[in-house]
Amino acid sequence: MTTETRPEYSSVGKRETRIEGAGKVTGGAIYAADVQVPDMLHCKLVHSPHAHARIVSIDATKALAIDGVERVIVAEDFGQAVKDGSNPAIDASNRGAALLAHKQAVFTGEPVAAVLAETPSAAEEGVEAVEVTYEVLPHVLDLEAAMEDGSPLARPPVSDIDHSEEEAHVTLDVDTEEAEGKPTNVASHVSFTRGDIEAGFAESDVIVERTWRSASMHQGYIEPHATVADFKPATGELTVWAATQGQFMVRDTIMRTLKWPETKLRVIGCELGGGFGGKMTLNSPLVAALSVIAGRPVKLVLTRAEDITAAAPAPRAMINLKTGMKKDGSLTAIEASVVYGAGAYPGAPAAVGALLGTSFYKWPNLKADGYEVLTNHVSVGAIRAPGTHNAMHAVEQNIDEMARQLDLDAGAVRLQNVSQTGDPMASGQEFTKIGLDETVTQAIEHPLWKNREAAKAESTDTKMVGVGLAIGGWLGGLQPAAAEVMLNNDGTVNAVTGVNDITGTNTSFAQILAEELNISLDQINITTGDTKTAPFAGMSAGSKTLFTVGRALREAAIDLREQMFEVAADRLEANENDLELKDNAVSVKGSPDQSLGMDRLASMTTGFGALYKPLVGSGSIAARIQAPGFTAQLVKVEVDTDTGNVELKDFAIVQDVGFAINPLSVEGQMEGGAVQGMGIGLWEEYIYDDDGKLRNAGLLDYRMPTAADVPDIESLIVEVPSEDGPYGARGVGEPSITAGGAAIANAIADAIGARVSEIPATPERVLRALGTVGDGAEAAGS
């Protein structure tokens, strides 16, 4: 749907298949684990078997006796890798600096030693032979218990909270107050208020107050974390091949951790086998340090079990939510306590959750508190729209339930109350131009929503059908970016960026160049440079790759065009304003015989004795205006009331993408995120035992959606142009994951007349909601 008339474009806005697609269908694309360097050592990690324990001693004698085992490295050794001899791992209180656990392990699976060996199997044997003596310490796993006074501390007090991953995704305009005074497990707390919530609740015709939970989950990338680092002692050069969404972030983290000069550090972001927020810097500083210590290349590829257990999953959340509504559907007040489990190192998105959870609707009165709580679980990282799906699950169930109790149409109620351009968020900051209204409108006009009564009528005694709706969104990340575009001698164009292409962004980049230079896609090559060869670009994260780097490239193309015009104007003795770029030539408008081919132009800027300077367009942008992207998702479910099993029958995702530069890849991202939302809604969950050991550390038990589990998804693109994105584009990647879990929960409630209070909605939780197991305490409206 085009909601505003827009200019005619020749290239952007068209469905294009990937320009470099062949590499990925023939096995030619090189991912980090594919990299082999001569003389390379293989690294395997020794993990703590305890959720919280003091490391009394680490004895590597037996491991070192194994044929092929070269070194066993522990935290105390890292001083050898740091330029000034300092050791970041000593008493580290953020995960980034804790290359290996020092003195104590704070979650099950935390790496405590690294074994380097000539072969992976020797390294594995070495791991078995390292003898670590632990003194088990009291652990805390439960979020509520962890917040109580007198709870055991999950870890020593935190001195230096690292929010870099969260900030990689969203640019937040709030201050987080960090815990001070008496040590507690609450690592940070943020608070927003508006109006008078008591007065708001007093004028409500209905108030729903519930506690909602959502599970910790893996980002689900199929490629486990992998890093290769190659330190050359003779030259002091350090090269790192990383599976990362942000090679410059890896570079900067290694630089800060090891105090390594960036002139001697090259980070190569390989093809990435999925990240979804989970692939930032995790093991890169560790592997870099190991290579420096060993004086040889080192490769570390996590096993799937290690990746699930000890990488950086998305946090669980516990949200107490009280909301009020009047009979006419208008909202009165919201009071939210949003608690994220950070695991054992801080970095959970408390501020995001509290802010986004209370900003998408016009709440006249609000009080929102976000807490980040430490427990002895693996520390969390980002995911698509970190924290948002947890918050939307809570808010959207409350909205739905209020509408149900007042006998109002839950779709109309949303449309009546959603935030509009210029409305304040909970922080007071005003929304830039947004298309939430248009998005909800499309959703509630969709047949899946319109025909929901007919769908419900398909129900039988034991198969109850329901339709659910939920909204979600993401504010969008901001980060400066630069790019370069060069005219080749044959008149084609090469461009260099520093951002990893995961989903097809290079194709969209080429479309931008084709648009601005009026040439075809096959005349364009996009190269992803490394940190030594590419101009700076931020991460492929926060839904901002195209939003920021695309803008830089567009500026670079315009710069190149202007330079071409300058040369052509001089040669053709014409005014630059009278020139046009068409059919691979710069010509004087209206007199096509006065023209200079792009190849001719290029040779005049490069040949021996050529008179003009080489044509290199550069673009550099600062991104300051966010472009929030919203989604509304619809799902039809069938609930088996005997087994509690939920089957997904139909799914539609509506999303405002501002402008779809390549609708084919936009749909792909929307559908991928939507299916992740289905996983959140029905299947994906970290399950721990009472000792803090993960019980489902494999892909059989940690169940991600397969092709057979999910229905065809209908993608509906809304285009409300953003103020600052290229051609009006908004970030696409993140909104898509934010609403599926909530929509499924609402569909289940529609089907069975009772709400699951926790997602994923496993059969047991559904039966509990139905009252057939447990105490039936989760019936609707309780």
Partner 1 sequence: MAKQIFTLNVNGRDHEVYTEPNQSLLEVVRDELRLTGAKEGCGTGDCGACTVLVDGRIVTSCLVLAPDAAGREITTIEGLADGEKLHPMQQAFIDHGSVQCGFCIPGMILSSVALLEENPAPTRDEIRRGIAGNLCRCTGYRKIVEAIESVAGS
Q: Which is nearer to partner 1, 567 or 737 (CB)?
A: 737
Residue 667 touching partner 1 (CB under 8 A): yes
* Residue selected from 224, 246, 466, 619 as contacting partner 1 according to rule CB under 8 A: 224
Where does this chain touch partner 1 (CB under 8 A) — which range of 187-195, 282-290, 593-601, 696-704? Answer: 696-704
Residue 303 touching partner 1 (CB under 8 A): yes
138 binds, among ligand FES, partner 1, none (CB under 5 to 8 A by kind): none
In the complex, the residues that contact ligand FES under the rule CB under 6 A are: 222, 274
Where does this chain touch partner 1 (CB under 8 A) — which range of 64-72, 267-275, 427-435, 600-608? Answer: 267-275
DSSP letter string over 177-221? EEP-SS--SEEEEEEEEES-HHHHHHT-SEEEEEEEEE--B----
In sequence order, what E strands does 565-615 have? 579-582, 585-588, 591-597
The neighbour count for residue 36, using CB atoms within 10 Å, is 9
The neighbour count for residue 258, using CB atoms within 10 Å, is 22
The span from the CA of 533 to the CA of 496, in Å, is: 9
Residue 491 touching partner 1 (CB under 8 A): no
End-to-end CA distance of the chain: 40
The span from the CA of 315 to the CA of 441, in Å, is: 31
The span from the CA of 172 to the CA of 155, in Å, is: 27
Q: Which is nearer to ligand FES, 269 or 725 (CB)?
A: 269
Q: How far is the CB of 664 from ligand FES (least distance, A)?
A: 14
Q: How far is the CB of 719 from ligand FES (least distance, A)?
A: 25
775 binds, among ligand FES, partner 1, none (CB under 5 to 8 A by kind): none
In DSSP terms, 598 is beta-bridged to none
Q: How far is CA 23 from CA 26, 37, 138, 271, in A?
A: 5, 21, 51, 10
Q: Give me the residue label for tokens 């969008």.
A: 476
CB-based contact 83:258 (threshold 8 Å):
yes
* Residue selected from 8, 177, 573, 700 as contacting partner 1 according to rule CB under 8 A: 700
In DSSP terms, 647 is beta-bridged to 638
Residue 67 touching partner 1 (CB under 8 A): no
Residue 272 touching partner 1 (CB under 8 A): yes
In DSSP terms, 638 is beta-bridged to 465, 647
DSSP letter string over 52-102? SEEEEEEE-HHHHTSTTEEEEEEGGGGGGGSTTS--TTTT--STTT-SS--
Q: Which is nearer to ligand FES, 222 or 457 (CB)?
A: 222
Q: Which is nearer to partner 1, 427 or 662 (CB)?
A: 662
Q: Which is nearer to partner 1, 33 or 385 (CB)?
A: 33
* Residue selected from 291, 503, 543, 587 as contacting partner 1 according to rule CB under 8 A: 503
* Residue selected from 28, 233, 295, 781 as contacting partner 1 according to rule CB under 8 A: 28
Q: Which is nearer to partner 1, 9 or 31 (CB)?
A: 31
Local structure of 596: helix, strand or coil = strand
Q: Which is nearer to partner 1, 30 or 202 (CB)?
A: 30
Residue 273 touching partner 1 (CB under 8 A): yes
In sequence order, what E strands does 641-701 have? 646-656
Q: How far is the CB of 274 from ligand FES (least distance, A)?
A: 5
Q: How far is the CB of 24 from ligand FES (least distance, A)?
A: 8
Residue 271 touching partner 1 (CB under 8 A): yes
The span from the CA of 747 to the CA of 756, in Å, is: 11
Q: How far is the CB of 705 from partner 1 (least distance, A)?
A: 8
Q: Which of residues 33-52 bind partner 1 (CB under 8 A)?
A: 33-34, 36
Q: Which is nearer to partner 1, 278 or 341 (CB)?
A: 278
Q: What are phi and psi of 131, to 5 degrees?
A: -105, 115
The span from the CA of 262 to the CA of 532, in Å, is: 8
The span from the CA of 655 to the CA of 668, in Å, is: 12
Residue 66 touching partner 1 (CB under 8 A): no
Q: How far is the CB of 104 from partner 1 (least distance, A)?
A: 30
121 binds, among partner 1, ligand FES, none (CB under 5 to 8 A by kind): partner 1
The span from the CA of 604 to the CA of 598, in Å, is: 10
Where does this chain touch partner 1 (CB under 8 A) — which range of 1-9, 74-82, 499-507, 616-624? Answer: 499-507
CB-based contact 65:306 (threshold 8 Å):
no
The size of the chain, in residues, is: 782
The neighbour count for residue 404, using CB atoms within 10 Å, is 20
Q: Which is nearer to ligand FES, 304 or 600 (CB)?
A: 304
Q: Which is nearer to ligand FES, 64 or 664 (CB)?
A: 664
Applying CB under 8 A, the site for partner 1 has a residue count of 58
Where does this chain touch partner 1 (CB under 8 A) — which range of 54-62, 68-76, 426-434, 668-676? Answer: 668-676
Q: How far is the CB of 615 from ligand FES (least distance, A)?
A: 37
* Residue selected from 375, 511, 676, 757 as contacting partner 1 according to rule CB under 8 A: 676
Q: Which is nearer to partner 1, 576 or 701 (CB)?
A: 701
Which residues lie below 8 Å from residue 158, measured CB to CB, with a gap of 6+?
93, 94, 178, 179, 187, 345, 346, 374
What does the per-residue mask of binding to partner 1 show for 282-301, with x meaning CB under 8 A? -------------------x
CB-based contact 291:237 (threshold 8 Å):
no
User: Of 315, 281, 475, whose CA–CA distance to 383 is shortest?
Assistant: 315
Residue 26 touching partner 1 (CB under 8 A): yes
Q: Which of residues 636-665 bind partner 1 (CB under 8 A)?
A: 664-665
Q: Which of residues 362-391 bind partner 1 (CB under 8 A)?
A: none
Q: How far is the CB of 542 from ligand FES (least distance, A)?
A: 19
Q: How far is the CB of 671 from partner 1 (least distance, A)?
A: 3
Side chain identity at residue 590, one-letter code: G
Query: Alpha helix locations (H) across 418-488?
Result: 436-445, 447-450, 452-456
Where does this chain touch partner 1 (CB under 8 A) — which range of 13-21, 101-109, 370-378, 448-456? Answer: 13-21
Cis peptide leading into residue 663 (ω within 30°): no
User: Of 195, 239, 417, whose CA–CA distance to 326 is shortest?
Assistant: 417
User: Of 358, 431, 419, whose CA–CA distance to 394 is shortest?
Assistant: 358
Q: Which is it for strands 298-301 and 365-374: parallel, antiparallel or unpaired?
A: unpaired
The span from the CA of 780 to the CA of 782, in Å, is: 6
State the maximum Cα–Cα separation within the chain, in Å, rounded to a whole number: 88
Q: How far is the CB of 471 from partner 1 (least distance, A)?
A: 19
* Residue selected from 208, 350, 674, 742 as contacting partner 1 according to rule CB under 8 A: 674
Q: How far is the CB of 686 from ligand FES (least distance, A)?
A: 20
Where does this chain touch partner 1 (CB under 8 A) — which range of 284-292, 359-367, 394-402, 697-705? Answer: 697-705
Where does this chain touch partner 1 (CB under 8 A) — which range of 20-28, 181-189, 318-326, 549-557? Answer: 20-28
Query: Alpha helix locations (H) across 130-173?
Result: 143-147, 164-169
Which residue minimizes CB distance to ligand FES? Answer: 222
User: Of 402, 212, 193, whose CA–CA distance to 319 is shortest?
Assistant: 212
700 binds, among ligand FES, partner 1, none (CB under 5 to 8 A by kind): partner 1
User: Of 497, 494, 481, 483, whose CA–CA distance to 614 is shortest?
Assistant: 494
CB-based contact 623:724 (threshold 8 Å):
yes
Q: How far is the CB of 196 from partner 1 (least distance, A)?
A: 44
21 binds, among ligand FES, partner 1, none (CB under 5 to 8 A by kind): partner 1
Q: How far is the CB of 743 from partner 1 (least distance, A)?
A: 15
Sites of contact with partner 1 (CB under 8 A): 15, 17-18, 21-31, 33-34, 36, 121, 220-224, 271-276, 301, 303-304, 502-504, 664-665, 667-676, 698-700, 704, 706-710, 712-713
